[in-house]
Structure 1
Amino acid sequence: MAQNLKIACQGMTQNDLAVRTGIPNSTLSGYFAERSTPSPGNVQKIANALGIHKSDIDPRFGHSELANDACLQAAFGQLSDNRQLAVIRYAENQLQRQRSDNLHQP
């Protein structure tokens, strides 16, 4: 992802990007040096500032966020324990319903 950022930001300083996005220079430095991974919100801020799609800089946002395990994990990891449990229960319920629907299809 760092390489994608460098390509997308050609002709722009890190400080320019910080001003456009509101993301601190120190945080951006971590992204460019691959010391940290931006949150989905910061990826969107960067994409907006550069006038590109977030998938152009971050492969987690490929064709479908729903199909992207890394994106799902990032969102899940930010939830409280109670909300994580609710997501697990909901997913299990949806899987049971899907299996039931598949049994009743001609």
Structure 2
Amino acid sequence: MPRHKLTTFERSLRQIIAQNLKQVSQGMTQNDLATKTGIPTSTLSGYFAQRSTPSPGNVQRIADALDCNKSAIDPRFNDAFLHSDACFQTVFVQLSTERQASVLKFAQAQLIEQNTQRQ
């Protein structure tokens, strides 16, 4: 049970990771994967069942064991995902109105600074 209520982003992330894990570990049991990674079967079971989110270290261990990129398991390691509108929007809509205004002001200031430095 999570210590806090999961955000839509966190639930989606767990779902994507679980789907990716099932795909990249086809033909392998969770016990086989535990043996190859050194990650307890109960921990892996949590990832597959969307009960927990793997740490970056465990994502690396799984990727190494399956000879794949971390981004094939966890979209947080995919630059395209992190720069997607969906990723930003998921976080932005959860902010209070005041914090949304702060984010917008900060982004506008950054854009002005960026454009000034180019000249």
- What letter corresponds to residue 20 of structure 1 in structure 2? K
Is 1:103 the counterpart of 2:119 in the alignment?
no
The one of 18, 21, 26 equivalent to 1:5 is 21
Is 1:38 the counterpart of 2:51 in the alignment?
no
Work out the percentage of aligned pairs sharing the same amino acid. 62
Equivalent position SS for 1:38: coil
Counterparts of 1:55-70 in structure 2, within 5 Å, are 55-63=71-79
Structure 1: segments with no counterpart, 5+ residues:
71-94
Structure of greater relative contact order (alpha carbons < 8 Å, 6+ residues apart): 2
Structure 2: segments with no counterpart, 5+ residues:
1-16, 89-108
Q: 1:14 to 1:104 in 2, by over 3 A?
A: closer
CA RMSD of aligned residues (A): 2.7
Q: Deviations over 1:23-76 (max 9, x none)?
A: 011100000000000001100100000000010111111136985879xxxxxx
CA distance in 1, matches of 2:20, 2:117: 47
CA distance in 2, matches of 1:2, 1:104: 43
Aligned length: 81
TM-score, normalization by structure 1: 0.63
- Tell me the residue number matched to 2:45: 29
Which 4+ runs in 1 deviate beyond 2 A? 63-70, 101-106
TM-score, normalization by structure 2: 0.56
